[in-house]
A and B are shown apart, each in its own frame.
Chain A
Amino acid sequence: EVVLTQSPGTLSLSPGDRATLSCRASQSVSNSRLVWYQQRPGQAPRLLIYGASSRATGIPDRFSGSGSGTDFTLTITRLEPEDFAVYHCQQYDYAQGYIFGQGTKLEIK
């Protein structure tokens, strides 16, 4: 069974900083099925990155995704106040269906 582990659980940074969030899979997964979502407090998740590295419509270029195999990264350069949120990674497995990581909370330091 594929498990996605996100780290860190909480990341404390300041506006203007660079954030690096990790999503590690327990076995190799396809880049095309690795997705990142942002969830602001009290809101539904929002699609950020699909196919490991493609930005969704309307997502600023300070957000970027990278990685392959078992290790994937979401990078946010020059943090804006609205970027402080919870970030979820997601993968599709043909046996299990959709799998989510437990989330990383990005909080203001």
Chain B
Amino acid sequence: QVQLVQSGAEVKKPGASVKISCKASGYIFNAYHMQWVRQAPGQGLEWIGAIKLTNGKVDCAQGFQDRVSMTSDTSTNTVYMELSRLRSEDSAFYYCAREFPETFNFDSWGQGTLVAVSS
């Protein structure tokens, strides 16, 4: 079955970077896009961006373009999302989610990774 397993919780100081992994299994890895979404405590969902594993292209929301890096390792079917210059407002659960190209829906989600940013 399809599984997306994310790395564990992180505690970071303001100004630092965090790199979260998302390991996929149970499907053809590079046939899908991998989306990243975050959710601050008690808040709604916010789209960060995506890596299109069909061609390696990265597409990010405007507010993240200068701070986010997304990469993939096809040998381990793992996607990475790195967020730099962290601030307290970046404290949130971060989710990876799979999208079949041009279907505009995320049909499987990782369990989430909690990132806490505190001095």
Interface residues of A (CB under 8 A from B): 32-33, 35, 37, 44-47, 50-51, 56-57, 88, 90, 92, 96-103
Residues of B within 8 Å of A102, CB to CB, are 44
Residues of B within 8 Å of A100, CB to CB, are 37, 44-47
Question: Shortest Cβ distance from A26 into chain B, in angstroms?
Answer: 16
Residues of A within 8 Å of B62, CB to CB, are 96-97
25 CB-based A-B contacts, threshold 8 Å: A35-B104, A35-B105, A37-B45, A44-B95, A44-B97, A44-B112, A45-B109, A46-B109, A47-B106, A47-B108, A50-B105, A56-B107, A88-B44, A90-B45, A92-B104, A96-B62, A97-B47, A97-B49, A97-B59, A97-B62, A100-B44, A100-B45, A100-B47, A102-B44, A103-B44
Question: Shortest Cβ distance from B110 into chain A, in angstroms?
Answer: 7
Closest-by-CB residue of B relative to A101 is B44
Interface residues of B (CB under 8 A from A): 35, 37, 44-47, 49, 59-62, 95, 97, 103-112
Closest-by-CB residue of A relative to B46 is A100
Residues of B within 8 Å of A32, CB to CB, are 104
Say yes or no: A45-B47 contact (C-beta < 8 A), given A50-B105, A92-B104, A96-B62: no
In angstroms, Cα B45 to Cα A44, docked, is 11
Say yes or no: A44-B44 contact (C-beta < 8 A), given A50-B103, A98-B35: no
Residues of B within 8 Å of A96, CB to CB, are 61-62
Residues of A within 8 Å of B60, CB to CB, are 97
In angstroms, Cα B45 to Cα A25, docked, is 16
